[in-house]
Structure 1
């Protein structure tokens, strides 16, 4: 075993690192340390920011003081290397929809986590870093659920990350999803305002439900196509709560096809017979202002072939 540092390190955060999540910051500071170990020292409070415990999602501020404890790392670097799992890493290259010097947008496959941790060795961001070992900076701008596919925005410069995070806070980023839901969506139900509350079960699983004491949440829905027993809808989440679209659709009596948490078993079985093997929720469109040029940028992620084939089997009906 090699020791990365033999004493406690105290690091002052400058403007260059401002806005970065503490877990991602530690990954860059503790190269070769497995992410599971990084999350463990965060949970135990061994990492402190301004002498206080912080969660992995804490975003660093200029002037913060980060305490990093002595930590050992195996001689063999356990982070993803370009030579390991190279097939799936190379496949990420085919998923890139748009790229320039400041950012890239990838069509994330369903079933792939956006980052490692919580029992997942690696996700999209680790794969991209392995694919681009020369890249000095690659960070997620936002997240998608593991089972959701579609547009995922990644910053290639810290200045771009800050600019894009400002747009998310100001709600000037448009994210539109396509979902196949059970039954006939009501044509007059265009906006769902339902507060959402997140609960963590004893198993550690996250579940979200509509609750008067929850956080205000709004999703706008638009019918794209009616079918005999389902509706293809476009969903625009105005707020960005955990599982928001899935729970809002369920609250209207229209669970999303293939949803193992909030779905309808009978509907899912019928869709599975037609070939559906995943959650039918897809981040179809992303519209935002380019952080460098100031121009509006629109990126569309096509549906994967299996979802197109499913829709082709359904019987269309008029609105």
Structure 2
């Protein structure tokens, strides 16, 4: 079964494990019974719809890194990673339209619609399996760094947030019964006494993890319409800011051959109005490197 179809069935709630609707983060165990819906043999292929021209142009210019196994892009804020009931085309559909030479192109992971930055896609099924295994079993070996503008003065240069998280309908809440979650936050720059630019590293990948952890710590992200502070958002808007100020800035992806792919996406220019810094025009970049030797100490 194509990975894209599997993800679609998961999103639609049509895939069940042991009689219950399967969640995307569920880890199969020996003896689990998987129920797949009956798929009509010989059904016609899904019609390929041309994505909007503006989205095609944006994604054609968004490539940060490409090799024989990976395609990494700088996802714009406000663009969904895949289509939905109110989204005719997302990143994956647009890139498949632009790159018909990549029949096995799949999303390697997800970013929220309003989050910008580094998004990894895989070109081959083996690479997709490798990336999913890394995210599932060896999360700490994949470096995922985000930038965020948060309310108030972040209290320490480094702070480790470990509040467990649980889904509650469409939201995520801090709950002792929830899943383990680990987020490291460092100060990048203080903006007066009303905001802080922080670097956030994920050590687990729970839904809305950064947004909920920062809100729970008393420093919600600017422009977060679900977990944010409207008063803070109005101050940000008065300085020209708009939308969620959360950006996937850097990712280090371990490859099966022992090397790493290192990809970075520049901070959105629109943030500079809020921070009061000049535009740089900097470009994102991607490269391979030999993996550092890790000592046991």
Deviations 1:223-248 (A, max 9, x none): 00111111110111211111111111
User: 2:281 — aligned with what?
Assistant: none
Is 1:137–2:111 an aligned residue pair? Answer: no
* Separation in 1, partners of 2:176, 2:26: 29
Is 1:68–2:16 an aligned residue pair? Answer: no
Q: CA deviation at 1:58?
A: 8.5
Contact persistence 2:59–2:95 (CA under 8 A): yes
Q: CA deviation at 1:23?
A: 3.5
* Separation in 2, partners of 1:125, 1:60: 24
Find the structure with the greater CA-based Rg.
1
Report the 3-state secondary structure (helix = DSSP H, G, I; strand = E; otherwise coil) of the residue aligned with 2:200. strand
User: 1:176 — aligned with what?
Assistant: 145
User: 2:271 — aligned with what?
Assistant: 307
Contact persistence 1:51–1:67 (CA under 8 A): no
Ranges of 4+ aligned residues in structure 1 off by more than 6 Å: 48-53, 58-61, 71-75
Aligned residues: 271
* Separation in 2, partners of 1:168, 1:50: 21
User: 2:125 — aligned with what?
Assistant: 158
Q: Pick closer, same or farther for the CA change 1:71–1:275 going to 2, 3 Å.
A: farther
TM-score (ref. length: structure 1): 0.76
User: 1:286 — aligned with what?
Assistant: 251
Is 1:93–2:57 an aligned residue pair? Answer: no
User: 1:215 — aligned with what?
Assistant: 179
Q: Pick closer, same or farther for the CA change 1:197–1:57 going to 2, 3 Å.
A: closer
* Separation in 1, partners of 2:127, 2:142: 14
Contact persistence 1:142–1:152 (CA under 8 A): yes
User: 1:32 — aligned with what?
Assistant: none
User: 1:9 — aligned with what?
Assistant: none
Contact persistence 1:21–1:59 (CA under 8 A): no
Structure 1: 5+ residue runs without aligned partners? 1-12, 27-37, 201-205, 315-319
TM-score (ref. length: structure 2): 0.81
Q: CA deviation at 1:122?
A: 1.7
Q: CA deviation at 1:251?
A: 1.1
The alignment's C-alpha RMSD in Å is 3.1
